[in-house]
Amino acid sequence: MLTQVAREVVTAIGARKRSEASAATANRHLALIRAILRRACDEWEWIEKAPKIKLYREAKRRVRWITPEQAKTLLAELQEHQRDMVLFALATGLRQGNVTGLCWSQVDLGRRTAWVHGDDAKNGDDLHVSLNDLAMDVLQRQRGKHPKRVFTYKGKPINWANTRGWRNALVRAGISNFR
């Protein structure tokens, strides 16, 4: 019964998940349980009180960058369509999903700008991107390849960049732990 779900029960579920996976994964499960219990209490009034659920401490976010020399080596190992995506990402600072999903409707070449709609951005806010000369050169090379999407391979939109070709290029470039 929902009324029998106490802190100890949820803690045991978290401990079991933590023994199988990372703290972050266990926390996602615990957060879902906490959200359900809070809604059961606050909105649906099915229970009097939701138990307090503590999450596991997670490691600090990973910060990883490559040196300019590593970037040059990697670019030399990539196929042309991958090279252009990496150049654009380096020039703009955009995330993989924002680069692969970029549509021509999000680009204004005349004003040298691009934008990412909030529902496509990690933090949910609209993102304006000023385009430098390198980004503009990449976009000029992509013109006419596809009516909707900017980055394509053999005429089809690219949806994912972490391919076997990408991973093999990283190995050939001597770069590890990089996405």
The answer to whether 175 and 74 are in contact (CB under 8 A) is: yes
Contact criterion met (CB below 8 Å) for 100 and 161: yes
Task: Tell whether 36 is covered by a domain.
Answer: yes
For residue range 65-119, list pLDDT tens digits in order. Answer: 899 999 999 999 999 999 999 999 999 999 999 999 999 999 999 999 999 999 9
The CATH number given to whatever domain includes residue 113 is 1.10.443.10
Which two three-digit tokens encode residue 23? 């703290």
Q: 119 and 47, same structural domain?
A: no
For residue 85, give every residue at least 6 positions away whose Cβ sits within 8 Å of its Cβ, in sequence order, or none.
99, 100, 151, 158, 161
Q: Amino acid letter at 49? A: K
- 55-63 mean pLDDT: 83
The model's pLDDT over 12-21, given as tens digits with 9 standing for 90+, comes to 999 999 999 9
Q: What pLDDT is recorded for position 123?
A: 87
Any domain includes 123: yes
Residue 109 lies in a domain: yes
Contact 51, 5 (CB under 8 A): yes
Burial of residue 44 (number of CB atoms within 10 Å: 0-12, 13-18, 19+): exposed
* Structural domain boundaries, residue 4: 1-59
- Do 28 and 80 lie in a common domain? no
Q: Which amino acid is at 19?
A: S
Same domain, 72 and 51: no
- Judge whether 170 and 176 are in contact, CB under 8 Å: yes
Residues 72, 4: one domain?
no
User: Tens digits of per-residue pLDDT, 116-138?
Assistant: 999 988 888 999 999 999 999 99
Query: Rounded to two decimals, what is the model's pTM?
Result: 0.69
Specify if 178 maps to a domain.
no
Judgement on whether residues 54 and 79 belong to the same structural domain of the protein: no
Residue ending a domain, among 59, 76, 94, is 59
Residue 121 resides in a domain = yes
- Per DSSP, what are the bridge partners of residue 35? none
88 and 125 belong to one structural domain: yes
Confidence of residue 60 (pLDDT cuts 50, 70, 90): confident
Query: Do 21 and 42 belong together in one domain?
Result: yes
Residue 64 is predicted with a pLDDT of 77
pLDDT at 59: 80
Shared domain check, 52 and 121: no
Output the pLDDT for position 148: 98
Instruction: With cut-offs at 50, 70 and 90, classify the pLDDT of residue 175.
Output: very high
Tell me the pLDDT of the chain averaged across its residues.
94
Are 157 and 84 found together in one domain?
Answer: yes
Beta strands in 67-176 (DSSP E): 107-108, 113-116, 127-130, 152-153, 156-157
Q: Do 89 and 99 touch, CB atoms closer than 8 A?
A: yes
Same domain membership, residue 36 and residue 1: yes
Predicted confidence at residue 114, as pLDDT, reads 98
Report if residue 106 sits inside a domain: yes
Claim to verify: residue 122 and residue 82 sit in the same structural domain = yes
Number of folded domains that form the chain = 2
Q: By the 8 A CB rule, do 109 and 129 touch? A: no
CA distance 42 to 87: 49
